[in-house]
Structure 1
Amino acid sequence: MEKEFLDENFNNFFEVNKQRFESKLLDQAVNVRDKINDILRVGDIDLINNAHKLIYYVIDGEKQDELQAFAKQEGIAWATHSLTLYFKLEWVQAIRRTLWSFIQEYTKATQKLTIDTIFDLEKLLNNRIDHFLNVFFINYSTYKDALISAQREVVENLSVPIIPITPNMCILPLIGSVDSFRTTILEEKVLIEIGRLHIQTLIIDLSGVAEMETEIIDKLMKMISGTSMMGCQSIITGLRPVVVRQMVKLGITFEKETKTYGTLQHALNEYFIK
């Protein structure tokens, strides 16, 4: 286990100065601060809250598995919503600089860290932040490439973009028009892929589907029922209000085993962090 240099007193110092940290962070991230609300609206990604989460995982040596899971979740979320990578890089580097300014303040105030300790601490914390970035970019690139390839198959071959994210969990992002012919192919391909890949959890993201006819909703429900019969749990994310209203009007409800989340980000957070 890596040696830790920051004690509980630093955590208390950081918590007391939480608001000042946010202010300094926004001063550092000059190009991102005006995009914070846009990123929250488009991708349901709270940059301020995630900055605190990253700091927490970086300074706690026992949270490295959570740090890696968080980086993977973020990479998938940014790729899903095609958010600009430059903003992510600037934001993380601003977090790094702001964290070190607070460590400097803490060191001056307490005189607890020696020069040698500070050098060791610099290597430790920066390695963790760099690891976060590496995992983020790898998952962003992997998921983005898979999503682009899958979307191309949908357009060209009306195929089903089932994208593995773990050995037993996959995402099915439905984008654009969903007609009767496509839902028939969806049902066939989904059931085949569940058996072939031994999928235990399938996240069906409908945020890219603006509306569905009654017949299509009925076929989608049958597909979800079929996945359950094969021992695969379905998770539905991104249902549009117009689709929900149609389902309520028709008296359609999901099976009790089927979970729903407002956004793909919520589902990823539930399964990768908690």
Structure 2
Amino acid sequence: MDKVSLEKEEHASILNTEVVTRLASVGQIAAGVAHEIRNPLTSVQGLLQLLQEEHDFQYWDLIFAELNQAISTIESLLSVSKPSLQTESITDFSLCVELENILSLFQQDTYRIQFKKKWLDKAIKIRGKRSQIKQALFNLIKNACESIEHTGVVTIEHVRVGECVHVVISDTGVGISTTDMRRLGVPFFTTKPEGTGMGLTQVYSALYEHGATIDVKSTPGEGTTFTLALPVSPRHKPDVSGGAEMQPIHLKKAEDIREFFQLNRKTFNEMLENEAATTFEIVSKSKFVTEKDLLDHANQITELVHDGLTQEIIELAQERGMAWAKSDIPIISKMEWFYALRKVIWRFMDEFYSNKGIDAHTAFAIADRTSDALDNFIVHFNVSFAKYREDVLQSQKSVIKELSVPVIPIFEGIAVFPIIGRLDNQRLQIIEDRLLEQLENRNLHKLFIDVSGAITTEEVSFAALERILDGVMLLGCEAVLTGISAKMAKFLLGANRDLIRKISIQSTLQQALLDYSAGRAALEK
């Protein structure tokens, strides 16, 4: 091994040692002060909330914002210092699946960042706390995206190397200076204007707990590469077909399948949460669908499947599809939940029927009935979901069209029509359709068309504008054009002279209304 390689390995070793030392220091600090600070702050927060109900004070929002920030910082420090105290169970899971789920959360960045993926050894799993590792991967990908100022590339690779799974996350961002490299993982150290400095601390803490290592290479101005090495699960042994050995689960026995699912409901729910971890995390922030909803409806589905109540399954699917459509939950979460639900149900059925001694004909009949029920749920869920979204879209289009032609009555038979924004042929077509309908329905005989807020484009057709004015006059309504800008005047000068003669013109809408009001008052005298 050459001198350069030895120096790099020595430097990486120093970094890992320093990180472990930092985490140990953080643990000692947090163990001594976190609870002592957090508990009083929480009590103060509760008392202030009571005071807020009795006293009006202009700085309440600022007080609570600062207090929440302090509590959040203490909780972050505690979670990093003692991650092993978290109640999350240890499971075998695929990093490829988790990376795919995480990347789906960065769809808003695809307009400026190209995500490149290279998945090798996809069947390999690791063992650990899924949410901790997922949060660490999310933090690294988030940092990679934020390091790219304008446009760039984030590359993610997954490959087995010996007894470890390597995840390599590279970016073409601003890079990290040599000085800052030695401070990576230090709590509260950040180069971001609004960063907390706890993201990488969580990454190092989670990986250290899982017996993993992390190597960082960076060149300022060119980018950064994080290489994670996580041990392969000791129970994960690929079979001859390349699949993974199914891990045993301990379930309570029962003679009836309904009773079997009921007795093991807690395990069923835990397995569903593990299989659809991303969905449950996203749903926890939703107002229309809750984590309890997911579990309750999953258990309802299993009951209906056993009873063969297809119509009830369809009705439940329609109700759930509409609820999901109302929320902002991404479609990928919906698909993950379907996949997880089907997988867990089949696993339970496999456990129930494995020692029943049923013949092939009966087994296929059970499989057909179960698949039919689940497929009915998925199909009608998607139909209801799509129909609600389509109805909302059509409603929004109608509102847009209505707002595009806001005819505002001011006197009996008199109205104002302000044209605001881009004026092109498509907009003129909408105006023609909606404006003439409103003139007829409201029986208007005078219309002030204000174009002070209109933006003309080269696409505007004189013929389209003339059709609108002809339609207004055919309905017995006088058109008065106000708010003509210099650009609009040049546009009208290029039109047919007959177009200008068809309408009355006044400088501003305000002046036109004042003149009309004065004339109206004179007539009434």
TM-score normalized by the length of structure 2: 0.27
- For residues 53-105 of structure 1, the C-alpha deviation after alignment (integer angstroms, 9 at most, x for no partner) is 111122211x2111111111111111122422221121122111111111111
Higher helix share: 1
Displacement, 1:112? 4.7
Aligned-pair identity (%) = 25
Query: What residue is the counterpart of 2:401 in the other structure?
Result: 156
* Equivalent residue, structure 1, for 2:269: 22
SS at match of 2:278: coil
Partner of 1:126: 371
Alignment equivalent of 2:353, drawn from 107, 125, 129: 107
RMSD: 2.3
The partner residue of 2:260 within 1, 7, 13 is 13
Contact 2:321 2:385 in 1 (8 A): yes
C-alpha distance in 2, partners of 1:33/1:43? 10
2 CA distance for matches of 1:33 and 1:112?
37
Larger Rg: 2
Counterpart of 1:71 in structure 2 is 317
Q: What is the deviation of 1:158?
A: 5.5
SS at match of 1:32: helix
What CA distance in whole angstroms lies between the structure 2 residues aligned with 1:94 and 1:32?
A: 10
Q: Deviations over 1:223-274 (max 9, x none)?
A: xxxxxxxxxxxxxxxxxxxxxxxxxxxxxxxxxxxxxxxxxxxxxxxxxxxx
Pairing partner for 2:333 from 87, 92, 102: 87
- Is residue 383 of structure 2 the alignment partner of residue 138 of structure 1? yes
Residues 198-228 of structure 1, C-alpha deviation per residue, up to 9 Å, x if partnerless? Answer: xxxxxxxxxxxxxxxxxxxxxxxxxxxxxxx
| Deviation (angstroms), 1:26 | 1.7
Partners in 1 of 2:397 and 2:329 — Cα distance? Answer: 20
Residue 284 (structure 2) aligned to one of 33, 37, 51: 37
Change (3 A) 1:132 1:153: same
Aligned CA distance change for structure 1 residues 42 and 138 (closer, same or farther; 3 Å): closer
| Secondary structure, counterpart of 1:117 in structure 2 | helix
Match of 1:97 among 340, 343, 346: 343
**Structure 2, unpaired ranges of 5+:** 1-253, 405-525
Deviation (angstroms), 1:145: 0.8
Q: Which has the higher contact order (CA 8 A, sep 6+)?
A: 1
Q: Distance in 2 between matches of 1:43 and 1:31?
A: 14
Assess if the C-alpha contact under 8 Å between 2:284 and 2:290 holds in 1.
no
Deviation at 1:139? Answer: 1.5
Distance 1:54 1:158, change over 3 A: farther
CA gap of 1:68–1:114, structure 2 versus 1, over 3 A, is same
1:167 counterpart residue number: none
Q: In structure 1, list runs of 5 or more residues that go unmatched.
A: 1-6, 160-274
Structure 1: 4+ residue segments shifted above 4 A: none
Q: Sort the Cα spacing of 1:74 and 1:114 in 2 relative to 1 into closer, same or farther, 3 A.
A: same
Cα distance in structure 1, aligned partners of 2:400 and 2:296:
37
User: Going by fraction, where is strand more abundant, 1 or 2?
Assistant: 2
Deviation at 1:42? 4.1
User: Structure 1 residues 42, 71: closer, same or farther in 2, change over 3 A?
Assistant: closer
Q: 1:50 corresponds to which residue?
A: 297
